[in-house]
A and B are shown apart, each in its own frame.
Chain A
Amino acid sequence: MRFRKKKIEKLLGEILVEKNIITSEQLKEVLDTQAKEGGLIGEIIVNKKFATEEEIAQCISFQYGFPFLPLENYDIPQEVIKLIPKNVAHHYCLIPIDKIGNTLTVAMANPLNMEAVEDLEDITSLNIQIFISTSSDVRKAIARFYKD
């Protein structure tokens, strides 16, 4: 399945309120914190314990149709890992998990980051298939599979 650009109609916060994962007051508080201290909205929600990473990932998966993939017990071959440099994986919080033919499967914490997907296409010259995962799962996997 080739990556197709998804039309982002709603922001993450709005979707989470709509799905009753967080309240609108909590969203306001999160937005205030982001305005003051910066940071990603998903990470702030998790830090404030308004929702878990899995709940957010499931929500995005449901909204945009990206399959959810827990990475805890996933084994990734080194030749696949080598397709994406560590700094790019770390920067965009993603990890390549498989390559079949001209398609590279990638697990991402934020599959709506279209610029990141374009970069992956440019780096690998492959079609990109996206899975969604939690950012802590992705970071753990990066630490596990990228060895300097």
Chain B
Amino acid sequence: MKDDKKISSLSKISLKRRLCVAFTFATFAPIALIFYYIINSYRISVLAIYVLISVILVGWWFVFEVFSSVIKIYNKTQETLRHIKDHDTLGNIGIKNEVERLDVVFNMLSSKVKESVEELKIVSSKTEELSRAIAQKVKVFSSILEANSLFSKGAPSEDILQFLTERLRGIIQVNIVVIFFVREIEGKYYNFFSGINEDKVLNLLTNENINKLKSVITTRIIDKNNRDDKFLFVDEILGTKNFIIQPIYLRDNIVGFIIVGNYLDDFAFSDDDSEVINLFSYNMSILWERKNLYKKVEDLEIFDPLTGIYNEKFFLNRLEEEIKRATTYQRPCGLLVVEIVNYNEYKQKMALLELEKLLKKLVGIFKNNIRPIDILGRLREDRFGVILIERNRRQSQHMGTRLKEIIYNFLEENIALAPQIKLAVAENPIDGTNSQQLLECIHTQLKK
């Protein structure tokens, strides 16, 4: 413990001062003592010799202390070199002197530190890039997830595609985004855009330009590193200086294109940008397919989901068929329409469940009071229609009056807040030769 204290007290003294102390003890003090005895002609006693030797030893102990601290540092540097696996390099230098070697080691270590600092800088900039890329990816995936969740909530596909268009513009930080899908059967374009006005988009989507764009089968980048005069028209119409054209594939067929662009000089798109656009194109193609499938299902649907009777589309198809049949057989075809007056106001007053019950009851009344060959359908939320096979206007009117009476009887007996009912009839051939003309006749009557 005492030794430790000594060492710690000595360690606080600088090497230079320690060497002065050592010199004083080992050289100056004995010489001064010998001179003192010689000048005074004293005889050197045993005690004096003992004191002299002690002083010299103290001096040498100080010298030893100085060198041992140097050796200690040297050993520590060796250990450090061993850690950084550069010990063999030092062995090859061929210097035996520890102090010189220490100098070399210090130089090596300082260059190593410099290198490490440089590496650290590179790593930190890479980390920054990586975190930016991760943030971008998170934005991409969260956008896609949000789009899917919107779809499952029943949001219109057009709204979801517009949402993705806006998000894409934000994520890759471009000035404009134009996305369009081509529906070959209809020859129509469905476009979504952000950061640009509709006129420019419509100028871009001419048949001639679309045909030029159709030559793009993989991602096409036009920036400071990639130029292609074939696509100058995009720059001219959209006013961009750099852009990417990305085809949207659906089962090996191109169904649309994504065009993103900016107005920057001396700009090059990164690989990440095209990767993000690629991801968006993939997901947009899925949404597009879903939209088309949904439409197909809708087209195939023939029943009204609430009442279970024919929906408007199917009902009108049947009406057209029945009119043709009636014409062939020189027979009349009646159309009876029942409307709930002020349906929307009534809907607000009544609980939804109650209203649904009422509509189902009305359908039950219709079914029970028309012939099995007659065709019942829901024309609108507030309108029911009956195709009265081979019934003329007079017979249809008679049927309507009877039906109205039955409905009012039911409503009076069962519903506290009964709605008003309006009725209209039309007949082929008197009121029209096709379903459209019959419906117009019905609308005119119901408006009165």
Is the beta-carbon distance between A119 and B332 smaller than 8 angstroms? yes
8 A Cβ contacts from B391-448 to A: 391-395, 427-430, 433
Q: Is B327 an interface residue (CB 8 A)?
A: yes
Q: Is A46 an interface residue (CB 8 A)?
A: no
Task: List chain B residues, Cβ under 8 A from A72.
Answer: none
Task: Report the bound CA distance from A118 to B326 in whole Å.
Answer: 16
Task: List chain B residues, Cβ under 8 A from A87.
Answer: 429, 433
Task: List chain A residues, Cβ under 8 A from B331.
Answer: 113, 115
Q: Is A8 an interface residue (CB 8 A)?
A: no
- Residue of B whose beta carbon sits closest to that of A113: B330
Known: A115-B391, A118-B392, A119-B393. A110 touches B429 (CB 8 A): no
**Minimal beta-carbon separation of B394 from chain A (angstroms):** 5
Is the beta-carbon distance between A119 and B430 smaller than 8 angstroms? yes
- Residue of B whose beta carbon sits closest to that of A40: B329
Is the beta-carbon distance between A92 and B429 smaller than 8 angstroms? yes
Once A and B bind, how many residue pairs between them come within 8 Å at the CB atom?
A: 50
**Minimal beta-carbon separation of B62 from chain A (angstroms):** 130
Is the beta-carbon distance between A91 and B327 smaller than 8 angstroms? yes
Is the beta-carbon distance between A116 and B433 smaller than 8 angstroms? no
Q: Is A56 an interface residue (CB 8 A)?
A: no
Task: Report the bound CA distance from A88 to B428 in whole Å.
Answer: 9
The interface size bin for chain B is 10 to 19
Known: A87-B433, A91-B429. A39 touches B328 (CB 8 A): yes
**Interface centre among A38, A93, A122, by most B CB within 10 Å?**
A122
Task: Report the bound CA distance from A118 to B393 in whole Å.
Answer: 9
**Minimal beta-carbon separation of A94 from chain B (angstroms):** 9
Task: Report the bound CA distance from A108 to B430 in whole Å.
Answer: 17
The interface size bin for chain A is 10 to 19
Task: Report the bound CA distance from A122 to B427 in whole Å.
Answer: 12
8 A Cβ contacts from A27-85 to B: 38-40, 85
Task: Report the bound CA distance from A90 to B330 in whole Å.
Answer: 9
Is the beta-carbon distance between B430 and A115 smaller than 8 angstroms? no
**Minimal beta-carbon separation of B324 from chain A (angstroms):** 10
B 303-344 to A, binary, CB cutoff 8 A, 1 in contact else 0? 000000000000000000000001111111000000000000
**Minimal beta-carbon separation of B445 from chain A (angstroms):** 15
Task: Report the bound CA distance from A92 to B390 in whole Å.
Answer: 12
Q: Is A123 an interface residue (CB 8 A)?
A: yes
Is the beta-carbon distance between B328 and A91 smaller than 8 angstroms? no
- Residue of B whose beta carbon sits closest to that of A108: B330
**Minimal beta-carbon separation of A119 from chain B (angstroms):** 5
**Minimal beta-carbon separation of B435 from chain A (angstroms):** 15
Task: Report the bound CA distance from A85 to B430 in whole Å.
Answer: 8
Is the beta-carbon distance between A115 and B433 smaller than 8 angstroms? no
Which B residues fall within an 8 A CB radius of A? 326-332, 390-395, 427-430, 433
Which A residues fall within an 8 A CB radius of B? 38-40, 85, 87-88, 90-93, 109-110, 113, 115-116, 118-119, 122-123
Q: List 15 A-B contacts (CB under 8 A).
A: A38-B328, A39-B328, A85-B430, A91-B433, A92-B330, A110-B330, A113-B330, A115-B390, A116-B330, A118-B394, A119-B332, A119-B392, A119-B427, A119-B430, A122-B430
